[in-house]
């Protein structure tokens, strides 16, 4: 959410660490034109959360020593937050941010299965894959694609530093931490873009509190699952081309000295809205967009 206000998701208890990174996978091919090593990921809809073909994206990474340059293009995601107070209240979003660009926090996840979650990840059977349910597939947060400041897990849920809107480009060069570097070389790194589109998201995502326990400042309840659930996902692999696509918005430099073992967060409790309220929410959102 691009706003001058310093809005930041509240701190919540950290998850237990996931298993350590594996070793021994082959390194990527060198990219002669860029002078570094390149990796790429095709971002595809996460099963259950984003309809097939509704959104997509691509990510190119160029690694030169410990300097990582990210080039990313994304389209088809949620464009703006709802405008009416009733819908905002139901989703756990303060009215001060009505109509603002929908923030999409995104990361390189590491130390998981090196894959994107399938329908089987929905362990509670509510029809939506939460961030925590997807963790066995993609792992914990290694690097945050923030627009400014730190790129480690400390900015993982800072919506003031996240790209926003339905379509965006992202380009930034920063110092990559050792854990993410190892995951790239071991072929276990996965890019995940969070934040579902209310117009086509599963009904449960509109009425269930997020699995991270996040409450936005000024909100009367926890942010709905729609704000944090994974929307797009792609496994990073050695690039088959030597030329990194041009484009993207330069968002400035950044540096990290290491990844905090913050990982993801657990939330507690449940919020249940009637089916009529959920349908009404969808209709109101549809009329606004």
Per the document, the length of the chain is: 289
Q: Residues 150, 151, 152, 155: is their CA dihedral positive or negative?
A: positive
- CA 65 to the chain's CA centroid: 25
pLDDT by residue (tens digit) across 234-267? 999 998 765 555 544 333 333 322 222 223 322 3
Give Dmax (Cα) for the chain.
58
How far is 31 from 26, CA to CA, in rounded Å?
15
First to last CA, the chain: 17
Identify the pLDDT of residue 22: 32
Cα–Cα distance measured from residue 103 to residue 195, given in angstroms and rounded to the nearest whole number? 7
pLDDT at residue number 2: 40
Q: Tell me: the pLDDT tens digits for 117-169? A: 999 999 999 999 999 999 999 999 999 999 999 999 999 988 889 999 999 99
**Band of pLDDT at residue 7, cut at 50, 70 and 90:** very low
pLDDT band at 217 (very low <50, low <70, confident <90, very high): confident
The sign of the torsion formed by the CA atoms of 185, 253, 230, 224 equals positive
Task: Yes or no: say if 36 and 62 are a contact pair by the CB < 8 Å rule.
Answer: yes
Strand ranges inside the chain, DSSP E: 30-31, 36-45, 56-64, 67-75, 106-110, 140-144, 168-175, 190-194, 230-235, 237-238
pTM of the model: 0.75
Instruction: Provide the percentage of residues in the chain whose pLDDT is more than 70.
Output: 71
DSSP-assigned beta bridge partners for residue 106: 193
Amino acid 13: pLDDT: 35
Which residue, 45, 48, 14, 11, is CA-closest to 202?
A: 48
Count Cα neighbours of 111 within 13 Å in the Cβ-side half-sphere. Answer: 18
Three-state DSSP state, 16: coil
Q: How high does pLDDT run on average in the chain?
A: 79
Q: How confident is the model at residue 107 (pLDDT cuts 50, 70, 90)?
A: very high
Work out the average pLDDT over 259-288.
Answer: 38
Name, in order, each residue with C-beta under 8 angstroms of 118's C-beta and a sequence gap of 6 or more: 47, 137
Between CA 21 and CA 109 the distance in angstroms is 11
Mean pLDDT of 225-238: 97
Distance CA 128, CA 126 (A): 6
| Residue 6 pLDDT exceeds 80 | no
Report pLDDT digits (tens) over 12-57. 333 333 333 332 333 343 443 446 899 999 999 999 999 999 999 9
């Amino acid at each position: 959410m691009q706003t001058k206000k310093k809005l930041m998701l509240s701190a919540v208890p950290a998850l237990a660490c996931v298993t350590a990174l594996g070793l021994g996978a082959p390194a990527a091919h060198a990219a002669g034109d860029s002078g570094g090593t390149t990796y790429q990921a095709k971002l595809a809809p996460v099963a259950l959360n984003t309809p097939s073909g509704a959104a997509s994206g691509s990510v190119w990474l160029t690694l030169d020593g410990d300097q990582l340059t990210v080039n990313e293009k994304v389209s088809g995601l949620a464009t703006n937050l709802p405008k009416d107070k009733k819908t905002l209240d139901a989703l756990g979003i303060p009215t001060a941010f009505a109509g603002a660009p929908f923030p999409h926090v995104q990361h390189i996840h590491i130390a998981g299965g090196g894959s994107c979650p399938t329908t089987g990840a929905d362990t509670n059977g509510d029809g939506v894959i939460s961030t925590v349910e997807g963790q066995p597939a993609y792992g914990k947060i290694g690097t945050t694609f923030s627009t400014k400041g730190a790129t480690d897990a400390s900015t993982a849920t800072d919506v003031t530093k996240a790209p926003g809107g339905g379509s965006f480009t992202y380009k930034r060069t920063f110092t990559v931490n050792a854990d993410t570097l190892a995951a790239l070389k071991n072929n276990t790194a996965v890019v995940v873009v969070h934040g579902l589109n209310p117009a086509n998201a599963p009904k449960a995502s509109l009425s269930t509190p997020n699995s991270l326990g996040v409450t936005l400042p000024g909100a009367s309840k926890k942010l709905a699952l729609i704000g944090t659930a994974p929307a797009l996902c792609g496994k990073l692999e050695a690039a088959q081309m030597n030329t990194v696509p041009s484009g993207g918005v330069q968002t400035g430099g950044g540096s990290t000295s290491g990844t905090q073992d913050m990982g993801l967060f657990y939330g507690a409790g449940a919020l249940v809205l009637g089916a009529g309220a959920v349908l009404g929410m969808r209709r109101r959102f549809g009329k606004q967009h």
